[in-house]
A and B are shown apart, each in its own frame.
Chain A
Amino acid sequence: MNTLVEIVSPGFILREALIGSVLVGCLCPLVGVYFVLRRMIFLGVALPQLSAAGIAMAFLVYRMFVGQHQHFMPSERWLAMSGSLSATLVGLLVLAAFARHRETVEARIGVTYAIAAAATILFLALDPAAEAHMVNLLKGDILATTGPSLTLMGGVFGAIGLLLLAFRKEFLLVSFDRDLAVVFGKHVGLWDSLLYLMIGITISLGVMTAGPMVTFGFLVIPTLTARVMTHRMLTFSLTAAGLGAITAFAGFYCAYRFDLPLGPAEVALASLVLALVTTTRGLTRLLGKWGAT
């Protein structure tokens, strides 16, 4: 109880990290709703890896053409951010360009993941001076979240959340029944692009802040949990975001209380909730059938 009081107090030393965790936990599932509904879950594995490759590439290009970057400087974070965002968006655009060929979608995502993973290691190997420090950036260091980066994250995630809310009928229509959207005269390509842009920004910021594992975990796990619990679109989105925020907070509490690594603690807790909800749902159905017979 004392730990809980400590981490919610305004003077808590890791307050920015806590808020950052909850923001990632809240927004990733909100975007993840479209990952799950559009059956793009595998893309959720490939994109954080692409983001990591982008960060590594940005550092390498900077060193080659400008010089050694300064560690822990704000410019380093912007450099990483631009690399992450560029690689994610290029990857999304390439994958979207071939989206019509649905039969090879898994293969394309798998190839993207393999290329991105290999590229990350190769870029790191070519920039040995920065390797040790970049590993922290690539795995995400949420405990290093600062006031300015939190403000940036809050602003960007807030804008994405508002866009998802404001255009939810367009995103739903384009995702659920693309043909009907065309019949209604909607520019489906434009809506897809906007959605991909928001996904790209969320993943880039998520990877930079919390790392690929947490970003992918929160894109998918709370969303799947919410899918088991709800049968309405709006409650699905809100439940996913709420579950993500709560499990991120609870994961942070567990990590701080029991001295565990933060990211794995959050993902493990989200997975535990998914397992509990799925098991309860399965048992309820089983008992219902048993009662009926």
Chain B
Amino acid sequence: MPGTLLTLHDVSLGYDGRVVLERLSFAVECGECLALVGPNGAGKTTLLRGILGLIPVLAGQIEYGFDRSTSPPGYVPQRETLDPIFPLTVFEVVLMGTYGRLALLRPVGRRQRQLAVDCLEQVGLADLADQPFWALSGGQKQRVLIARALAVEPNILLLDEPTAGVDPGAATAIMDLIARLNRDQGLTVVLVSHHLRLVRSLVRSVLWVEAGCANKGATEFMLTPERIMDSFGSLRGTE
């Protein structure tokens, strides 16, 4: 599956006209697993939201190697952004991922239901399909949201801090799952993460975001102890 899936040409991003990231240029190849890493407030989530089209590009251009209107990307948001007042089962949450390819007025059919079941099986939660989504643990909810993103049948999976707020065991399971999807299915992955230990062991390339700039390279060169110490002050808290 050769080729470039995503290319940023001198892209500037920000909010309300205020530039957070300036003149970023990098590419994401098909089948790549890229982690966006950097200190808090550096603009990792801003970059992800820019790639997703959730915030306008202030300058430059983002080129997609796929048709976003017919084949939208898979997106896993931070689960705190979702409101627990919604009465939803695990299955209903995953089914929402199929809405991206459903035409207006076209109801959810057998194919979409089967796809949702398959995606739940991929994340190992098929037996929880009828459970209320909000009754699950943090790690399980995150895996359900990954299943929802897979139900989009995406070319690329974009995840915003998928291991935030979950216990270390669950964080490892989630990162293992993401690495497996990338390795076994060739799914291109871009994720924001603070878990540098897990990133180092499972992700091949890193985009280091800091002070409005970004540098991309192989994980072993980007996540050196010196750079981490420079940016985070200590290795504590980066796991």
Contact = CB atoms under 8 A, between A and B. Distances in A.
Given A179-B77, A183-B53, A231 B87 contact: yes
Given A169-B99, A169-B108, A173-B99, A180 B77 contact: yes
A172 to B, nearest CB: 7
B60 interface: no
Contact of B96 (A36, A37, A177): A177
Contacts of B107: 169
Interface string A178-218: 01101111000000000000000000000000000000000
Contact of B88 (A36, A39, A166, A176): A176
A179 B88 CA distance: 18
Given A227-B87, A232-B89, A185 B68 contact: yes
Nearest to A181: B99
Interface string B137-166: 000000000000000000000000000000
- Contact-size category for B: 20 to 34
Interface residues of A, number: 25
Helix, strand, loop or mixed for chain A's interface? helix
B132 interface: yes
Helix, strand, loop or mixed for chain B's interface? loop
Contacts of B104: 167, 170
Nearest to A229: B87
From A175, A183, A236, residue with most partner B Cβ within 10 Å: A183
B69 to A, nearest CB: 5
B72 A236 contact: no
Contacts of A36: 85
A184 to B, nearest CB: 4
Given A176-B82, A183-B75, A185-B69, A233 B87 contact: yes
A179 B81 contact: yes
A230 interface: yes
Contact of A184 (B72, B88, B89, B105): B72
Interface in B68-95: 68-69, 72-73, 75, 77, 81-83, 85-89, 92
A281 B37 CA distance: 45
Contacts of A185: 68-69, 72, 100
Nearest to A226: B87
A183 B69 contact: no
B96 A166 contact: no
A179 B87 contact: no
A176 B69 contact: no
A140 to B, nearest CB: 29
Contacts of B72: 183-185
B75 A231 contact: no
B52 interface: yes
A179 B74 CA distance: 12
A159 to B, nearest CB: 15
B87 A236 contact: yes
Contacts of A227: 85, 87
B54 interface: yes
Given A183-B72, A185-B68, A37 B77 contact: no
B54 to A, nearest CB: 5
Interface of B: 49, 52-54, 68-69, 72-73, 75, 77, 81-83, 85-89, 92, 96, 99-100, 102, 104-105, 107-108, 132
20 contacts: A39-B85, A169-B102, A173-B96, A177-B77, A177-B82, A177-B96, A179-B54, A179-B81, A180-B96, A180-B100, A182-B52, A183-B54, A183-B72, A183-B75, A183-B100, A184-B99, A185-B69, A227-B87, A232-B88, A236-B87
Q: Across the A-B interface, give the 3 residue pairs with the lowest CB-CB distance, nearest first.
A: A184-B100, A231-B132, A236-B87
